[in-house]
Amino acid sequence: MYAALARAVLDEAKGAAVAERVERLKRRHPKASRDELANRLIRSAALQCGGAGLVWSGPAAFFGSMPLGPDLGFQVAVMNRLILSLAAVYRSDASGRDRVAGIATGVGAGLAADALRRGVVALLSRALPKRPGARAVAGGLAGGALACATVFAIGNLARDYFAGRNAWVGRRRFW
């Protein structure tokens, strides 16, 4: 899984696919501003990750434990593609440093969301020990909402970074 994830995130050919996706979006919405295009990309990625979180967290809550799942790899790949797409929308070149920052952000946010989902699953299994159906529904909804909120937060942060609106992050050198 990790080798496939590394290939999906580090593959340089993805840059061409991302650029083509952004151009297709611009053709579909010719009067949309950069911010509107960025918001469409963020919503799309958030819905994709929210769906994966819903599908993975629901059954995990039903059984009462949550193994490290494929939704983490999927979420990291989607967030990386989102960050590259936002860079293309704002005509910023995704340099090596930006790519590494995007990967690190995606992995960090994905792990944080996964840890929160695990906590929710554990809490639900203690709170509703004899109601696996209710655990599954509540766990799925919570997992989907956490994954969706994570992508919205990272996407809005990346959008503001590439747009030059660095209200609370700023363009700082971290290395």
| % pLDDT > 90, the chain | 7
Q: What is the pLDDT of residue 67?
A: 59
Task: Label residue 40 exposed, middle or buried (CB < 10 Å: 0-12, 13-18, 19+).
Answer: middle
Count of CA atoms in the C-beta half-sphere (13 A) of 174: 9
Contact 162, 92 (CB under 8 A): yes
In this structure, what token pair is assigned to residue 35? 């911010």
Q: What is the pLDDT of residue 8?
A: 53
Q: What is the pLDDT of residue 172?
A: 46
| Distance (Å) of CA 28 to CA 9, 54, 158, 174 | 26, 29, 23, 37
| pLDDT tens sequence across 22-46 | 888 888 988 888 889 999 999 999 9
Contact 172, 87 (CB under 8 A): no
The rounded distance, in Å, linking the Cα atoms of 10 and 30 is 30
In this structure, what token pair is assigned to residue 95? 């340099």
**Helix (H) or strand (E) segment spanning residue 46:** helix 34-63
pTM score, whole prediction:
0.77
Q: Pick the residue with more confidence: 66 or 154?
A: 154
Contact 70, 103 (CB under 8 A): no
| pLDDT tens sequence across 59-117 | 766 666 655 566 677 787 888 888 888 888 887 665 666 667 667 777 777 777 777 77
Q: What is the pLDDT of residue 61?
A: 63
Q: What is the pLDDT of residue 44?
A: 93
Contact 131, 175 (CB under 8 A): no
Residue 1 three-state SS: coil
Q: What is the pLDDT of residue 14?
A: 63
